[in-house]
């Protein structure tokens, strides 16, 4: 019995091998006949459609597939289009019915395109291929949308991109396309480009976005800028951003892209106006107030180093102003609360450096100057303390807040509190969490 089974197995392998070596043109014709049989009685001959799929796939997997005539590619397109049509019919009764293939519309389109572009295709074959492309165009869009909903972004891109290719072919042949309205076509270009970027295929997105930018499409500038950055073309990205900001100064996406660019490049002076504009456009965006406060804080520190007291004072007050605006809108915004404390704390640190740099002078005047600076430092620490206490109440596990509290209490010689925050700090640094805040709101 075992020998008999082995013999059957060997026969099966030989049969498959023989089928695989069969003439691909002959397989394509057999596939066409199987499709014709299915079309005569779809309800009772579903096996014929399965047979047609198997045979046409086998033909196309042959090393000689490149020699197949246009008719073979037409057959492939018709078979996959027919299976897609069968699936769509089933979905009328059950919208949740799955597709048999992954994207039969895409397979059919690529086959019809091959037939249409075949150098020796007959006139009627080109006409049939064009008709097939028109037939699957809508399905390419719909399946692309479904792939997008399923977060299969690369597959969505391939389907959308094919729909745009189909439009070019149909338009060149003066046929009717779903994208004959330029506005609809431009929208599809935009969707295709955005999905390409989501699929991390920015190189494929750039040509579409550049085409839209040339048409002054406001929404194309920001994704093109991002794709240029992704591609490492910083100069090209800056050019796109500059052009976009000039043409569409109220576009918030471009404004934020410019803000991020300036932040990255450290262009603090240019940032203030951009952030103020952003606040006008989004007055409830607390992060903008905090960011602008941070910019002024940095400018304050720069002016302090340059010994420009007038500017340093101006920037300090501006930083405090925007932090306070943030806390007025959201009293529990920990970034804003902490930043006010840090503003006073950093000023105290600068004054401490000035005090430490004083030469040894034990004269009455020298000691008086030292005391004045020391008193100013402690006053600044006292001003910062309530904000750090409130920040700790909001987030008892922020390392910077705990460091500041430990340092301030040590300087105030309040050893018990200094030890408490040292312990809390070490717990967090060790990977632990403080169960609750020391200070209560």
Give domain 331-441's CATH architecture.
Alpha Horseshoe (1.25)
For the cut 70, the answer to whether the pLDDT of residue 163 exceeds it is yes
- Measure the CA–CA gap between 358 and 380, rounded to whole angstroms: 19
Q: Which 3 state secondary structure label does DSSP give 181?
A: coil
Q: Could you tell me which residues come within 8 angstroms of residue 325 by beta carbon, excluding any fewer than 6 positions away?
A: 289
Name the DSSP class of 246.
H
Residue 102 — very low, low, confident or very high, per pLDDT cuts 50/70/90?
very high
> In this predicted model, what pLDDT tens digit does every residue of 272-316 receive, in sequence order?
988 999 999 999 999 999 999 999 998 898 888 888 999 999 999
> Is the entire prediction scored with pTM above 0.75?
no
3-class state of residue 359 by DSSP? coil
**Burial letters 221-241, b for 16+ CB under 10 A, else e:** bbbbbbbbbeeeeeebbbebb
Average pLDDT for 363-370: 69
> Which letter does DSSP use for residue 97 in this model?
P
* DSSP label of 2: H
pLDDT band at residue 370 under the 50/70/90 scheme: confident
CA–CA dist 3, 276 (Å, integer): 86
Averaged over 92-116, what is the pLDDT?
93
Tokens of residue 121, six digits = 């295709």
- What pLDDT, in 10s, does the model give residues 253-276? 888 888 888 888 888 888 898 899
- Distance (Å, whole) CA 76 – CA 200: 31
380-433 pLDDT per residue, tens: 999 999 999 999 999 999 999 999 999 999 999 999 999 999 999 999 999 999
Q: Return the half-sphere exposure (C-beta side, CA atoms, 13 A cut-off) of residue 296.
A: 26
Per residue in 26-53, pLDDT (tens digit) is 999 999 999 999 999 988 888 999 999 9
Supply the pLDDT for residue 363: 64
Exposure of 221 in the CB half-sphere (CA atoms within 13 A): 25
With a cut of 50, say whether residue 217 has pLDDT above it.
Answer: yes
pLDDT confidence band for 247 (50 / 70 / 90): very high
Tokens of 172: 């060149």
Distance CA 132, CA 162 (A): 13
Q: Could you tell me what percent of the chain has a pLDDT over 90?
A: 68
Flag whether pLDDT at 7 surpasses 80. Answer: no
Nearest 5°: the CA angle 372, 374, 377 is 110
Segment 47-92, tens digit of pLDDT: 999 999 999 999 999 888 888 999 999 999 999 999 999 999 888 8
pLDDT at 358: 65
pLDDT score of 258: 87
């Amino acid at each position: 019995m075992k020998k008999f089974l082995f013999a059957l197995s060997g026969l099966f392998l030989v049969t498959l091998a023989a089928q695989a070596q069969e003439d691909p043109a002959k397989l394509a014709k057999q596939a066409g006949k199987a499709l014709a049989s299915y079309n005569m009685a779809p309800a009772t001959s579903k096996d014929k459609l399965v047979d047609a799929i198997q045979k046409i796939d086998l033909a196309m997997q042959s090393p000689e597939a490149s020699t197949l005539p246009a008719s073979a590619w037409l057959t492939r397109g018709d078979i996959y289009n027919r299976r897609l049509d069968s699936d769509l019919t089933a979905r009328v009764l059950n919208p949740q019915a799955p597709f048999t293939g992954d994207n039969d519309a895409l397979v059919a389109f690529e086959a019809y395109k091959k037939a249409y572009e075949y150098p020796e295709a007959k006139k009627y074959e080109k006409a049939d291929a064009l008709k097939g492309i028109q037939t699957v165009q809508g399905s390419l869009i719909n399946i692309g949308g479904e792939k997008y909903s399923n977060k299969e972004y690369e597959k969505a891109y391939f389907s959308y991109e094919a729909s745009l290719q189909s439009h070019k072919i149909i338009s060149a042949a003066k046929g009717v396309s779903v994208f004959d309205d330029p506005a609809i076509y431009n929208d599809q270009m935009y969707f295709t480009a955005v999905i390409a970027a989501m699929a991390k295929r920015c190189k494929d997105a750039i040509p579409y976005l550049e085409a839209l930018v040339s048409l002054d499409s406001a929404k194309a500038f920001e994704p093109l800028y991002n794709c240029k950055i992704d591609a490492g073309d910083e100069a090209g990205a800056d050019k796109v951003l500059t052009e976009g900001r000039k043409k569409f100064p109220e576009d918030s996406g471009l404004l934020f892209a410019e803000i991020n660019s300036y932040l990255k490049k450290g262009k603090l002076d240019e940032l203030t106006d951009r952030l103020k504009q952003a606040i006008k456009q989004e007055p409830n965006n607390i992060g903008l107030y905090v960011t602008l406060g941070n910019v002024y804080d940095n400018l304050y520190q720069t002016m302090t180093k340059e010994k420009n007291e007038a500017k340093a004072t101006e920037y300090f007050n501006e930083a405090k102003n925007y932090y306070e605006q943030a806390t007025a809108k959201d009293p529990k915004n920990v970034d804003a609360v902490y930043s006010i404390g840090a503003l006073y704390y950093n000023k105290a640190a600068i004054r401490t450096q000035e005090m430490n740099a004083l030469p040894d002078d034990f004269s009455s005047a020298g000691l008086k100057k030292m005391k004045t600076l020391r008193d100013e430092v402690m006053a600044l620490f006292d001003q910062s303390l309530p904000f750090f206490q409130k920040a700790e109440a909001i987030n008892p596990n922020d390392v910077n807040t705990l460091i500041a509290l430990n340092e301030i209490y040590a300087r105030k010689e309040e050893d018990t509190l200094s030890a408490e925050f040292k312990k809390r700090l070490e717990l967090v640094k060790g990977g632990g969490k403080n169960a609750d805040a020391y200070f209560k709101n």
